Structure 1
Amino acid sequence: MPRTRVRAHHPIRTVLAAALLVPLSAACTSDPAPAPAAAGTGEGAPAKNAEGPVTVQVTPTGKQVLAGQPVRVTASGGRLTSVTVTDARGGGLPGRAAPDGRTWTSSRKAVPGTAYAVTAETRTRGGTATTNRSFFTTAPAAKVNKVDWRPGAGTTVGVAQPVSLVFDHPVRNRAEVEKQLKITTSNPTEGSWGWLRDYAGNDRVDWRPKDYWKPGTRVTVTAELNGTASSEGRWFVRDYTTSFTIGPRQIVKVDLDAHHLTLLRDGATVRRIPVSGGTPGGDKRSWRGTAVLMAKEGTINMNSETVGLGNAYDKDVAYSMRLTWSGMYAHAAPWNTRFFGNSNQSSGCIGMSDADASWFYAQVCPGDPFEITGKDTKGTVAPNNGFGQWNLSWPDWRSRSALR
């Protein structure tokens, strides 16, 4: 009798264990055929629709894992009803579940040097709810890449002002970085990011609208860079955001052949000012093309040796308005009074009288375009020499995006 009892019950335990391993989706989609009776007994299979626990898997997992990857949660044997990913500072990673409730993926990447707690609430097809918790930590960033912004937050700028991000270390993962950059405008504005090497040699990415901005446009720039690798072993460890507003449509037309500039506002002439541009025939010539007013710097010291012109001048200059990194300004130049309106005799800048410079300085703002024409110039302002990207055609500018 003992041997007969053992042979009768051993198959039942095997069938029951196998039933618990059947995926819930398979167990509930159709009625399985009855299990055969155990040999020598009249006992049948266990009750149908028996449920096992929901299995939850979280990636990444462990300690000191590599940052820069999204968090993924997968449920087997049921569906996810809620997932939260939080860090020790009270922040978190937002995300979204798949329509079938089987997976959840964060929309942001895990950032370096952070401990995360993952809470996943699940429910079986039969309605049983469970809560699963797991933890992981990311390795800190050994090297960091920082960003310098233009324009500043809360500023009002001219219609040619681009958004400009300059990085203090090279960016190799340009496409991944560009994906994290977002421009939001108060009216439909077509534009594109473009990569270039800054005048100082740093990597830089600018966003330029296809045409000059519409006056009054409100612009918000969001760079969700925290947790993005800029290159092998170097990370961004914070997000950035800035907002600014576009001012009136002001365009400065500079005619070096006629020796005057004209300030246009909303298409109407506000004032024409006699000027003297760069001396023809050598390195003291001015640039032509579109240069964007970068900054109003007031009274500054100008030394010709800093722009490769030798010992030509060293003086304090009032009402200085920077147009290029290479040193072209519009400013007061009372020492050239006799040349205003009739001859170009400067060291490359656009000079005017003290009175005209004082008035003009008060009218313009950073971001206003200076559209410069003239026969005898050094050439067109390069895209990286200040904000010279307006001298590229729209297709050429778009081709500089890493996502094209």
Structure 2
Amino acid sequence: MHRIRVRVHAPVRSAVAVALFASLAAACSANPAPPTADAGTAGKDGDRPVTVTVTPTGRQAAAGEPVKVTAADGRLTSVTVTDAKGRELAGKVAADGRSWISERKAVPGTAYAVTAATRTRGGTAGTSRASFATAPAAKVNKVDWRPGAGATVGIAQPISLVFDNPVENRAEVEKQLKIITSNGTGGSWGWMRDWSGKDRVDWRPEKYWKPGTKVTLDARLNGTDSGDGGWFVRDYTTTFTIGVQQIVKVDLDSHQLTLLRDGRTVRRIPVSGGTPGGDKRSWRGTAVLMAKEGTINMNSETVGLGDAYDKMVDYSMRLTWSGMYAHAAPWNARWFGNANRSSGCIGMSNADAAWFYSQVRAGDPFEITGKDTKGVVAPANGFGQWNLSWADWQRRSALR
């Protein structure tokens, strides 16, 4: 074996010593890498560590925005964002590996942990961790919705959401509301002020539902700012089915109620509607059966009619928030089929009411006609939106 000796002249030795000293000094430096950098894996051959940046940051970060993770001097291979309960914010790394954005927004009053797997340009793998917390909501907005999960409803049943607190950011909220149907039925949301005075949004198709349609509401509201300091902090979902095609025709001029099923007459029932010429008249137009309430106390004072009546009423079927029902009214027996002498409801005999009550379901439309009525059922008075044209209903959407 040949040995090769290299003689280093003094100036060169001095340069080598200086370089060696500088190298050792750098290796012992106390200057740390940024908190989100891949400081532990500087890589080989001078490969630079990946610098990871997470937004939002801090302990009182603003909620309502997606979480964003970016990488410099390398790329992201995966990102995991979880809250204190282990629930994960899903997301996807961009094709170039330089960014990741969560599919959902950060929720108020929540602490998040971020773990990013990285790879330097030279191929060295590493891990970066960060955390942040969002400021709590000034007030939480909740939702009451219809119909309930698993229900089978009539062909006129809308999806109806009533909010605890005002909704100023209507367009942003509406974007989070998804309707999925088994047959591709289209429809539109419409905003209104509920009878209770609260903000409300309903969804209905252009025409009555097709029987057998499966419907799912997927309200992805968690982390959405409703405005005026209110936030949604959970999602809502409900699934229901459209039952058989039933339409109730009520002719107040002939004092007859007709139940149609799949276009065929099932039965005609003599009735008595609201007394003409005053506040006791019935509404006309399309009302939707809101609920079957059984035996209830009806008090005229609750609908602004003084002390006209206060009695227990059987087979009560609510049609409006303003107090119009279909129900048994044996005290009005002599008027059934002959004249309108009720206080605004659609009354019938006990026997007919018992049978009819067993046949109908929430969501069945009552198409009411008559010359002497109070007017057409308003959209927020129960489910009166079917009295609007399709174009007028679409104009109530915050996204149009």
TM-score for both structures, normalised by structure 1: 0.88
Q: Per-residue displacement from partner, 1:333-357 (whole Å, max 9, x unpaired)?
A: 1111111111111111000000000
Is contact 2:166-2:228 (8 Å) kept?
Answer: no
| Number of the residue aligned with 1:203 | 199
From 371, 386, 390, the equivalent of 2:382 is 386
What letter is aligned with 1:214? K
Aligned to 2:40: none
Select which of 134, 144, 154 maps to 1:138.
134
Q: 2:177 aligned to 175, 181, 193, which one?
A: 181
Alignment of 1:259-338 (within 5 A): 259-338=255-334
Task: State how 1:26-45 maps to structure 2 within 5 Å.
Answer: none
Residue type of the alignment partner of 1:249: Q
Gaps of 5+ in 2: 1-9, 27-44
- Residue 237 in 1 paired to residue 241 in 2? no
Runs ≥4 residues deviating over 3 A: 1-10
Write the distance in 2 (CA, Å) between the matches of 1:202 and 1:229.
17
The answer to whether residue 213 in structure 2 is matched with residue 190 in structure 1 is no
State the partner residue of 2:212.
Answer: 216
User: How far apart, in 2, do the equivalents of 1:276 and 1:380 lie?
Assistant: 18
Cα distance between partner residues in 2 of 1:84 and 1:211: 45
Are 1:345 and 2:344 an aligned pair?
A: no
Alpha-carbon spacing, 1:3–1:128, altered in 2? closer, same or farther (3 Å): closer
Tell me which residue corresponds to 1:21: none
Deviation per residue, 1:134-187 (Å, 9 max, x gap): 111112223111111111111111000000000111001111111111111111
Aligned to 1:40: none
Q: How does 1:41-80 map to 2 (within 5 A)?
A: 51-80=47-76
Instruction: Give the Cα separation in 2 of the matches to 1:275 and 1:286.
Output: 12
CA drift of 1:51 comes to 2.6
CA drift at 1:9? 7.7
Unaligned runs of 5+ in 1: 18-48
- In structure 2, the partner of 1:397 is 393
Which of 152, 157, 163 is 2:159 aligned to?
163
How far, CA to CA, are the matches of 1:99 and 1:393 in structure 2?
46
User: 2: distance between equivalents of 1:50 and 1:192?
Assistant: 59
Question: Number of aligned pairs?
Answer: 370
Aligned to 1:356, which of 322, 347, 352? Answer: 352
Picking from 83, 103, 110, the partner of 2:106 is: 110
Tell me the CA shift for residue 296 of structure 1. Answer: 0.3
Deviations 1:358-377 (A, max 9, x none): 00000000000000011111
Deviations 1:272-295, CA, capped at 9 Å, x for gaps:
000000111111110000000000
TM-score for both structures, normalised by structure 2: 0.89
CA drift of 1:126 comes to 2.8
Q: What is the CA-CA distance between 1:4 and the residue it aligns to? A: 11
Q: Equivalent residue of 1:378, what SS?
A: coil
Distance in 2 separating the partners of 1:208 and 1:340: 34
Cα distance between partner residues in 1 of 2:11 and 2:137: 67
Cα RMSD of the aligned pairs, angstroms, is: 2.1
Q: Where do 1:3-18 residues align within 5 Å? A: none
1:129 matched residue in structure 2? 125
* Kept after mapping to 1: 8 A contact 2:283/2:373: yes
Q: Distance in 1 between matches of 2:330 and 2:100?
A: 69
Partner letter of residue 182 of structure 1?
A: K
Equivalent position SS for 2:333: helix
Q: Measure, in 1, the Cα distance between the counterparts of 2:225 and 2:326.
A: 40
Deviation of 1:2 (Å): 6.8
Which amino acid is the alignment partner of residue 390 of structure 2? W
Matches of 1:112 and 1:260, distance apart in 2:
56
- Percent identity, aligned pairs only, is 78
